[in-house]
């Protein structure tokens, strides 16, 4: 199997986010020069290396929709890892402009910067929500038609189209990664954060959106980053699309029970009802990962293991002391 090592300088948009910061550390660990662009709307400075290697790390505080603010970071770059986006699916329902601006338009600006400065590769973080409500499980990358159920999903799909068009029109190589639910240290939203926050505010009662039968795949952040890097090294088509997830899924009910157990097992779980947790929610998700597996990638744990490890980290970081830690 042919391989083309990831090269630097590497630009990481959204590099102070939960996934971006893990990617930044991994790229630095491989000896690359890394240039982070983040507006810190959701990213956090404390997630970035406190003492990065001298001469191999730069941080620019900028919004990717304003490329003139970060052109110097793109100049001479060999890869752009575009992870900057609105991270909260539900936010786009309340304000329809959010995902258009922070998703589609932002991706266009990044691709234009890549074209202007002849960056040969752009790697884009998409999402499994582009599939909408598929009738095939596990869902392969070839599934269609794609009918997103949320503005977030629509924005990701539109951005995928831009990545494909720029690859074919301008010769840059694009990589599109359709993520399952990515969890790990540093995350600022998602079901685990929501449930921990609810129990912090009301320890005796845990409200869970939906009927609890929603079931999805959960992948650890470090596994996600490993998959992206491996695909970037080994996939050589003009447009490369990969699902990143696990072979199984776990239900919301199971997750809620694990979180309650980590808090001492005393809270009463109450479900709001309905198949969806919110407008635009995808209640069932399971991705086919044969394509990324064929390159030699494997997740380090299944969905339940990823959830257990992340709960344990949250128990430690939030100093939850009235219950046993999940293992």
Which tens digit of pLDDT belongs to each residue from 213-247?
A: 999 999 999 999 999 999 999 999 999 999 999 99
Domain that holds residue 261: 191-216+248-285+300-317
Q: How many CB atoms lie within 10 A of CB 27?
A: 24
Q: Determine the straight-line distance between the first and last CA of the chain, rounded to whole angstroms.
A: 37
The string of pLDDT tens digits covering residues 240-274 is 999 999 999 999 999 999 999 999 999 999 999 99
Contact by Cβ (8 Å): 38, 13:
yes
Q: Tell me, yes or no, whether 1 lies in a domain.
A: no
Report the distance separating Cα 81 and Cα 84, nearest Å: 9
Residues forming a β-bridge with 111:
none
State whether 238 and 254 are in the same domain.
no
**pLDDT tens digit at each of 327 positions of the chain:** 667 888 889 999 999 999 999 999 999 999 999 999 999 999 999 999 999 999 999 999 999 999 999 999 999 999 999 999 998 888 888 899 999 999 999 999 999 999 999 999 999 999 999 999 999 999 999 999 999 999 999 999 999 999 999 999 999 999 999 999 999 999 988 999 999 999 999 999 999 999 999 999 999 999 999 999 999 999 999 999 999 999 999 999 999 999 999 999 999 999 999 999 989 999 999 999 999 999 999 999 999 999 999 999 999 999 997 544 444
State whether 105 and 91 are in the same domain.
yes
State whether 277 and 304 are in the same domain.
yes
Q: Tell me, yes or no, whether 327 lies in a domain.
A: no
State whether 141 and 267 are in the same domain.
no
Q: Report the DSSP pairing between strands 173-179 and 239-244.
A: parallel
How many structural domains does the chain have? Answer: 2
What is the token pair recorded at 237? 């088509």
State whether 152 and 264 are in the same domain.
no
State whether 46 and 141 are in the same domain.
yes
State whether 157 and 199 are in the same domain.
no
Q: What is the maximal distance between C-alpha atoms in the chain?
A: 59
Contact by Cβ (8 Å): 152, 280:
yes
Q: Tell me, yes or no, whether 163 lies in a domain.
A: yes
State whether 23 and 132 are in the same domain.
yes
State whether 119 and 204 are in the same domain.
no
SS3 36: strand
Q: Tell me, yes or no, whether 157 lies in a domain.
A: yes
State whether 257 and 155 are in the same domain.
no
State whether 76 and 203 are in the same domain.
no
Residue 171 φ/ψ region, left for φ over 0, alpha for ψ in the -120 to 50 degree band, beta for the rest: left
């Amino acid at each position: 199997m042919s391989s083309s090592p990831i090269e630097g300088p590497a630009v990481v948009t959204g590099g102070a986010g939960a996934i971006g910061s893990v990617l930044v550390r991994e790229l630095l660990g491989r000896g690359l020069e890394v240039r982070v662009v983040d507006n810190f709307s959701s990213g956090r400075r404390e997630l970035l290396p406190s003492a990065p290697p001298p001469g191999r790390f730069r941080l620019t505080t900028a919004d990717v929709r304003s490329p003139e603010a970060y052109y110097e970071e793109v100049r001479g770059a060999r890869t752009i890892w575009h992870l900057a986006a609105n991270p909260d699916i539900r936010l786009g329902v309340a304000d329809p402009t959010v995902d258009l601006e922070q998703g589609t338009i932002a991706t266009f600006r990044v691709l234009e910067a890549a074209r202007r400065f002849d960056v040969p590769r752009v790697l884009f973080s998409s999402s499994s929500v582009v599939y909408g409500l598929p009738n095939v499980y596990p869902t392969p990358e070839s599934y269609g038609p794609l009918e997103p159920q949320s503005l977030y999903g629509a924005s990701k799909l539109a951005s995928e189209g831009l990545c494909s068009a720029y690859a074919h029109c301008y010769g840059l190589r694009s990589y599109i990664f359709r993520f399952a639910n990515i969890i790990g240290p540093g995350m600022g939203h998602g079901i685990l954060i929501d449930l921990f926050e609810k129990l912090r505010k009301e320890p005796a009662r845990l409200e869970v959106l939906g009927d609890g039968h929603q079931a999805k795949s959960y992948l650890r952040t470090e596994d996600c980053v490993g998959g992206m890097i491996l695909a970037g090294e080994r996939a050589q088509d003009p447009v490369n699309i990969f699902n990143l997830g696990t072979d199984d899924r776990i239900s919301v009910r199971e997750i809620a029970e694990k979180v309650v157990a980590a808090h001492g097992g005393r809270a009463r779980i109450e479900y709001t009802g309905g198949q969806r947790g919110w407008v635009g929610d995808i209640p069932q998700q399971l991705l086919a990962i044969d394509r990324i597996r064929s390159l030699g990638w494997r997740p380090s744990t299944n969905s339940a293991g990823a959830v257990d490890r992340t709960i344990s980290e949250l128990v430690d970081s939030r100093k939850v002391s009235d219950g046993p830690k999940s293992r």
